[in-house]
A and B are shown apart, each in its own frame.
Chain A
Amino acid sequence: MPSLNAIAAWSMAGIAAVGAAVAGDPPYRAPDRNAGTPAMQTPIEDDMGRPKPLELPKDVEAKLAGIDKAKVDFLKSGVTGRYVEKDMLFDRIRTRTVEEISAYIDAMQALHAQVEYKAGRDLAAIPLDTASPWFNAWKARRPSALDPRRDPGPVELTRYVGGFGGGFATFAGAPVAMTPEDLKAGKVDVAIVGAPLDMGSGWRNAIDGPRAMRMTGGATGNDMYSMINPNAALKIVDYGDIAIDQNSTERSVDHVREMVAEIARTGAIPIVIGGDHSLEYPNLAAAADVHGKGNVSVIHFDSHYDIGRGRVHLLDHGQPVYRVLSEGHVRGSDYIQMGLRARGPDLETFGWMRNKGMRYHTMVEVEKWGWERVMARALKEARENAKKLWISFDVDVLDPAFMPGTGTPVPGGLTMREAQPIMRNLCAQNDIAGIDIVEVAPYLDTSYKTALNSNYLLNACLAGIAMRKKGLKPGYLNPVSVDHGLDAYYGKKN
């Protein structure tokens, strides 16, 4: 393992490059076309985990004296680690004849050539069937002319005066909006939209996340901590679902980016219900499209760090943060991560994250300092930035006891009583650019609790947004709900 100081030296160039990209771009430009465009170039300093040169013991080097220099250099390059452990390699060299060693290296080079990408032999793209007359049908929007004419604005699906639900399940029991005109006409504060992308690497079923959250209670009504009912204080709508191509993350996220930007441009706060965590990428790209590159900071709740890179696919639910950073939508120093505890990152990548200025908060930090202090620190970091804040909330940050219905659960996570206050306070204290709640996979949970808890987190955040709108101070708790106030038990009568 290299020391962190050693890492600092080689990653500064990368930070400078990203910084320059952020500074030089106009505030808005049309979305990139991910598919069909040349793949991005990963800078060498971001290529962590690349093979380290192999040092040969003196006797091994001596034994190789009669062998082609190119072959010896191949061994020294360190790429052989994929095929043979170094001690086995050394033993083989020590005990075999020069001819045998030479043939062995030949075989390894042939294997290596087979393993690595070769233009012409390996397809660098997945071809689609462009002859299909319904190539784009999956995202074709329904013309308004097909329905009876109506005024723009949110559509109530209720029948009765008395508030009895209409029977149609919507996010937070909100009315429905279908177009940006509806959002503008209704002066909508918050538009909740589903994006059922189902391409996770663990158990899948995030396709049912939006449906489960609509059909389970918990997002609606009074938040006792603030005594605010967000449904009354805010204009909230259910913006339906965003079309997804369930066989391609890349094609899906192009469209998600357009749709999230469409919401944000009306002034409404987009809340995206996933779907898997790949969505963090189009969401933040859209936020940058609308508010400008480098103008949005992020708090990423997750048991996973999601900075995977260098894979054959340019995006999956383990890589969104890298894609966001590498395209310059958000600066590394504007990224806060909370709740990390899965297998990665390794020490080298932790070093890379430090060098990018990323504020990571692991469950290790929570174990050492306690939740209250870590939460206070993260809230302070978020507020200090004074930028628009996007909250990307992967429900696997919670302990599987509270959130079993998620594709890649990791034990040892947050409790609901830790997650609710930080969500409420983040939303109350910051200018929210948008929120995503992702990786809800209800079929992994035979109970209702995954959907209920996800909805309560949504409610806490909606209450926070309403608190901010009302001008309530950070950390506000309603004095009446805090205690009965009949005596001065806590030192001061409420």
Chain B
Amino acid sequence: MARACRGAHTALFAMAIILASAPAQAQAQAQGDPLAGLSPEKQALLSDAAALERFGLTPEKVKVALAGRSAEEVDAYASGLLAIIEDSRFKAGRDPAEIALNPQARGWNASTTLRPKLFDKRQRADGPFSLKRYMFQKAGVPTFADAPVAIRKEDLVAGKVEVAFVGVPLDFSSGWRDSKHAPMALRGMDGLVGADADGGIDPGVLLSIADYGDLAVDYMAPDRGMDHVRKMIAEMASLGTVPFIVGGDHTIMFPDVAAMVDVYGAGKVALVQFDAHADAELDGDHRLSDNQTLTRLLAQNLLRGSDVTLVGLNGRDAGPAVRQRLAAQGAKIVPTATIQEKGWRAVADDLVAGLSKGPENVFVSFDMSVLDPGDAPASGRPVPGGLAMREAIPMVRQLCAQTKVVGFDLLDTAPILDPTYVSRMSANYILHACLSGIALRKKKS
């Protein structure tokens, strides 16, 4: 919709220039204020820069458009805008307040119901189990980090699993969609195994890691099913496991952070969001979607503004109005431009220093859009001019090494947008950077 609106107002602007250049209209304009004959309400709307912004207009553009128009036409223009504001509001009786589902459907909850052990075909002892046939070969069936598989929470407990990968293949990016295929694609790509050259450790050796499979989502509704994801992630965290969640679009950040709050308590969780977008749009008609995740977390008091650090804001969805609003709520904002200006090392040190003031438990949400499309074209909402892998890898590693990271998500990777391996490998290297950081922190303690 944003794209369409921009196109429309560009066209309007172009026409307005043509109109303004006509001498007859210039004369009409000179005769006086075209808004003079309007009601106070309409005058106020057409003079209110903030209200007009929604329509891609400014008072100046309105003046140009209305120059030379008759009083009736000027009134129709204002009435048209007022009608949009009025018609946009929900009206009971006219607008359905909800989306009907089919209660006749058999197996309504089947996809999110966990199979009790009693109904396993074959019994096995608890604990992560390997899918490898050979001692020194990768498994034929790909898993995250080539790790053994855990199916139930008992497996995580028995294996004292420190980090568990879990896929949440929700596919509702407001940009290009395909993030449902990210968990599968990243399991099947290299880059998540082995030593970290800069850190000097191998997280696969130092940490107990498991692949916890995918969580069920509803492919026809982003918000329906988030309670299940929240419950499952909270359960993982409550066992002392750090969940590494591979989305899925950025809607997933809501259940992820909510789950952390469920486990650690409100006011006890800090969010570091690497993202070109703030995901803080207001006034959504849906209860939840990728571009309003942060808004809903704040509105439900799961986070305070001061618990939020936004890293890598860049491009059109991170304009001054959003930044000012979030900053006023206490959020710390580090746009990409700041990282380019100060260098990643200074910014990372600053981030760590800021987080040391609390809350102690840090959740890192990493949206692929924060990376430059050169390093990660397979991002649902890419923005050019983003971070380079040479900046992102050390920043993420340092953050995970020097703060208490209790959870990490990597969101909105859309593999179909990149026919090469580059995006998938970049994504895995980001995950590996945080794994390495966590391993480094463990080694030091």
Which positions in A face B, CB cutoff 8 Å?
A: 33-42, 50, 82-85, 88, 104, 107-108, 111, 114-117, 119, 122-138, 140, 142-149, 198-199, 201, 203-205, 207-208, 241, 243, 245-251, 254, 310-314, 316, 443-444, 446
Contact: A127 with B88, CB < 8 Å?
Answer: no
- Most B CB contacts (10 A, CB to CB) among A42, A138, A205, A249 go to A205
Contact: A205 with B416, CB < 8 Å?
Answer: yes
Given contacts A145-B73, A147-B15, contact A134 B100 (CB under 8 A): no
> For the complex, what is the distance from the CA of A35 to the CA of B223, rounded to whole Å?
16
Contact: B73 with A204, CB < 8 Å?
Answer: no
B341 on the A face (CB < 8 A)? no
Contact: B416 with A444, CB < 8 Å?
Answer: yes
A-contacting 9-mer, from B146-154, B176-184, B399-407, B428-436: B176-184
B77 on the A face (CB < 8 A)? yes
CB neighbours of B287 from chain A (8 A)? 126-129
Given contacts A117-B108, A146-B65, A207-B177, contact A36 B97 (CB under 8 A): yes
Contact: B181 with A203, CB < 8 Å?
Answer: yes
CB neighbours of A131 from chain B (8 A)? 90
**B81's contact among A127, A129, A143, by CB below 8 Å, is which?**
A143
CB distance from A332 to the nearest CB of B (A): 20
CB distance from A37 to the nearest CB of B (A): 6
Given contacts A128-B286, A198-B177, A199-B220, contact A135 B102 (CB under 8 A): no
**B178's contact among A128, A205, A241, by CB below 8 Å, is which?**
A205
> For the complex, what is the distance from the CA of A139 to the CA of B84, rounded to whole Å?
10
B347 on the A face (CB < 8 A)? no
Contact: B110 with A146, CB < 8 Å?
Answer: no
**B416's contact among A42, A117, A203, by CB below 8 Å, is which?**
A203
CB neighbours of A84 from chain B (8 A)? 119
> For the complex, what is the distance from the CA of A199 to the CA of B220, rounded to whole Å?
7
> For the complex, what is the distance from the CA of A85 to the CA of B184, rounded to whole Å?
29
CB distance from B2 to the nearest CB of A (A): 11
**Among residues 40 to 92 in chain B, which have CB atoms less than 8 Å away from a CB atom of chain A?**
65, 73, 76-77, 79-81, 83-85, 87-90, 92
21 contacts across the A-B interface (CB closer than 8 A)? A36-B97, A82-B110, A83-B115, A108-B119, A117-B108, A117-B109, A126-B98, A126-B224, A130-B92, A131-B90, A134-B88, A134-B285, A137-B1, A138-B285, A140-B87, A205-B177, A247-B221, A248-B99, A310-B102, A312-B105, A443-B178
B320 on the A face (CB < 8 A)? no
Contact: A35 with B283, CB < 8 Å?
Answer: no
Contact: A135 with B103, CB < 8 Å?
Answer: no
Given contacts A148-B19, A203-B181, A313-B220, contact A116 B101 (CB under 8 A): no
B284 on the A face (CB < 8 A)? yes
CB distance from B295 to the nearest CB of A (A): 11
Given contacts A114-B109, A203-B178, A203-B181, contact A124 B101 (CB under 8 A): yes
Contact: A247 with B172, CB < 8 Å?
Answer: yes
B198 on the A face (CB < 8 A)? no
Contact: A312 with B102, CB < 8 Å?
Answer: yes
> For the complex, what is the distance from the CA of A248 to the CA of B287, rounded to whole Å?
12
Task: Return the 6 tightest CB-CB contacts between A and B, nearest first.
Answer: A143-B80, A36-B96, A35-B96, A117-B108, A145-B76, A204-B177
B322 on the A face (CB < 8 A)? no
Contact: B102 with A111, CB < 8 Å?
Answer: no
Contact: A443 with B176, CB < 8 Å?
Answer: yes
**Among residues 276 to 291 in chain B, which have CB atoms less than 8 Å away from a CB atom of chain A?**
283-287, 289
> For the complex, what is the distance from the CA of A84 to the CA of B92, rounded to whole Å?
47
B124 on the A face (CB < 8 A)? no
**B73's contact among A130, A149, A311, by CB below 8 Å, is which?**
A149
**B99's contact among A108, A126, A129, A133, by CB below 8 Å, is which?**
A126
Contact: B100 with A37, CB < 8 Å?
Answer: yes
- Most B CB contacts (10 A, CB to CB) among A83, A135, A245 go to A135
Contact: B90 with A314, CB < 8 Å?
Answer: no
> For the complex, what is the distance from the CA of A143 to the CA of B92, rounded to whole Å?
23
Contact: B101 with A126, CB < 8 Å?
Answer: yes
> For the complex, what is the distance from the CA of A142 to the CA of B90, rounded to whole Å?
18
Given contacts A35-B99, A251-B99, contact A310 B77 (CB under 8 A): no
> For the complex, what is the distance from the CA of A9 to the CA of B346, rounded to whole Å?
77
> For the complex, what is the distance from the CA of A50 to the CA of B110, rounded to whole Å?
15
**Among residues 161 to 188 in chain B, which have CB atoms less than 8 Å away from a CB atom of chain A?**
171-172, 174, 176-178, 180-181
CB distance from A246 to the nearest CB of B (A): 7
**A38's contact among B97, B100, B283, by CB below 8 Å, is which?**
B100
Contact: B98 with A248, CB < 8 Å?
Answer: no
13 further A-B contacts with Cβ under 8 Å, apart from A115-B109, A117-B108, A138-B1, are A35-B100, A36-B99, A37-B96, A39-B102, A115-B113, A126-B224, A130-B95, A133-B88, A204-B180, A246-B172, A248-B221, A249-B220, A250-B99
**Among residues 105 to 140 in chain B, which have CB atoms less than 8 Å away from a CB atom of chain A?**
105-110, 113, 115-116, 118-119, 121
